[in-house]
Chains A and B, each alone.
Chain A
């Protein structure tokens, strides 16, 4: 109102306006400039420029091709001429002696059909590879002379590498490597090998219809047993790992809620008469939260050893701090009228809490518990990787071996499905249990109301 009383001065008004605009302009340029400057600093600090040299394209290729395909190794021991066939070259996927897939014919001269005209022959003396459109590559390994390679005349193409002790041929049909001690052919197939049954199971290679027929004639148990104990994919262990992870999240979250609720009363202004106790309680919560779950995990793993219990306890301790804070804030916001009403009917203190306070904070309590149940499923995966339990452990193990990328892909898919399922479940429970938070209701958009969503 002061403006109206004062004499209007256009010059001053323009000056103010200019000042305001200048300030706004400064802000709208300074802020992005600051962010950009920071990102540039990070770019240098993280050595992003040098990163491109360190990117391992080889690794990327193995990773991608391994996730959707597998290879079967046909190996000849050059010292004694024995030929063996194994999927991924692993003992778990080896064909029994003298047996082979249809495209490998074992004999004095073993013939490996790589299709599209490509054919490799493991002869008694030399290895031959017929490549359509190029010719015949022959290699004769011997102890004394290394690997003697005979190629068609002309320049050596770049998909063949020849040296004194080694011949490597890489075509789109497969791969042949000959060294002094062994010759090996890789043939690539799409899909995940032996996902249902390993080679030693009688059910390997049967169609769905036949399996169903056999299951109907009383072999269902045996079929399931063979699937469940599959050595390659370890379905049983994987299922247990997922159960362990979910268990960590469940025990940790619910346990933290149970412990935090009574403690929260001690930290709420309107319920704790003693200021000192309240202060102490709050510092305890801050401490539990501030010591990160990483540190709790490390400390607890020393006492309890690796496993799901350690993970559950680590989640429990950290979340006790978080819940204590959230619940005590919720308790401070309860409506006194309801408690007064209950008191006026002559209720004892326990009844007052039960009927006056708990119903008011139940929605906050439940929705936070359910939020955390979902996000702790994710944390449990991470904690499992550190303490050694659950699907997180399987994932890290599979990644560390650096060759079973199809398993890594499988675990990643399982983890994502698990988290999305928990997300859906917690959302569904929230809608069922808490009326008023249903679908179309406009939610509060203040970040203060829910202090720690989604860690």
Chain B
């Protein structure tokens, strides 16, 4: 208001003010940039210093190992199809771990998300509790639960499945509750007035609205879970990761097997990626006529 009573500013004044503002903004931006670069450099130096091999030595050898593997695989090219067949069951196990944990996670994630959304919750007083449960499920890396369960249950697919399912339930639960917030509550109210129970209200009133989004998120999660179950195999949970670890620790002489597993994993991940992104596109935008 002061500006209006003081009369209009001259162009020179506006210009001067604009210039100082720009200069200040640039200065702040510059300081931030310098700080940021310094942080990156310091971080890199620390990481480099605490690493067993230094970046400078390693960077020239990055392709040594892939080259070794590929050359041995190249020599034994004829064996590759046989390896594909022999490792296929392990791949199926990895896929099963991912699929089963996604399904279980989907069920629990749905429940958790419905229980923690305002307007849909069965016990509104406990919404914060279910939110915290979701947060904790999401925060635990799969490997933690998997390793503890491997100690209790012995190696195998079940520990990995449970571990991934817990994380999936938390992650999907959070995404689902965002979806739920956008869902209309009118069908729920309508069903309630007709005397429907909580389960019926959710199943008939909410799920049809949010179903496509849920499935699309679950597909996304499935992709991620394949990677996770491969990694967990590496620490002893069975599946293709376990085979990879065996082939790798054997070293030279079984590199053709390692190459076959690399290829299988790569093809599977790419394929599932493509299929699921196509399906997700259809789910969200509807089938293309």
Contacts and interface: CB of A to CB of B under 8 A. Distances in A.
A303 B143 contact: no
B158 A48 contact: yes
A246 to B, nearest CB: 9
B34 interface: no
Contacts of B273: 286, 289-290
A60 B170 CA distance: 25
The SS class assigned to the A binding surface is helix
A290 B281 contact: no
Contacts of B93: 45
A183 interface: no
Interface residues of B, number: 73
B151 A386 contact: no
A295 B262 contact: yes
Interface string A31-60: 000010011001001111001001110011
A402 B151 contact: yes
A298 B217 CA distance: 29
Interface string B204-231: 0000000001001100100010010011
Interface in A46-79: 46-48, 51, 54-56, 59-60, 63
Contacts of A244: 47, 50
A276 interface: no
Interface string A430-455: 00000000000011011110011111
Contacts of B220: 447, 451-453
B215 to A, nearest CB: 9
Interface stretch (A86-94, A103-111, A124-132, A308-316): A308-316
B14 interface: no
A35 B103 contact: yes
A185 interface: no
Interface of B: 40, 43-44, 46-48, 50-55, 58-59, 61-62, 64-66, 93, 96, 99-100, 103, 135-136, 138-144, 147-148, 151-154, 156-158, 161, 171, 175, 178-179, 181-182, 213, 216-217, 220, 224, 227, 230-231, 234-235, 241, 244, 248, 262, 265-266, 269-270, 273, 277, 280-281, 284-285
B50 A298 contact: no
Contacts of A453: 175, 220
A46 B161 contact: yes
A139 interface: no
B100 A42 contact: yes
Nearest to A448: B284
A60 B152 contact: yes
Given A295-B262, A385-B235, A386-B235, A307 B153 contact: no
A381 interface: yes
B99 A38 contact: yes
B143 A392 contact: yes
Q: Which 6 A-B pairs have the closest CB atoms?
A: A305-B52, A307-B51, A305-B53, A304-B58, A309-B51, A302-B65
Given A298-B248, A396-B143, A416-B136, 10 more contacts: A54-B153, A56-B151, A299-B62, A308-B46, A308-B50, A310-B51, A415-B140, A419-B140, A448-B281, A454-B175
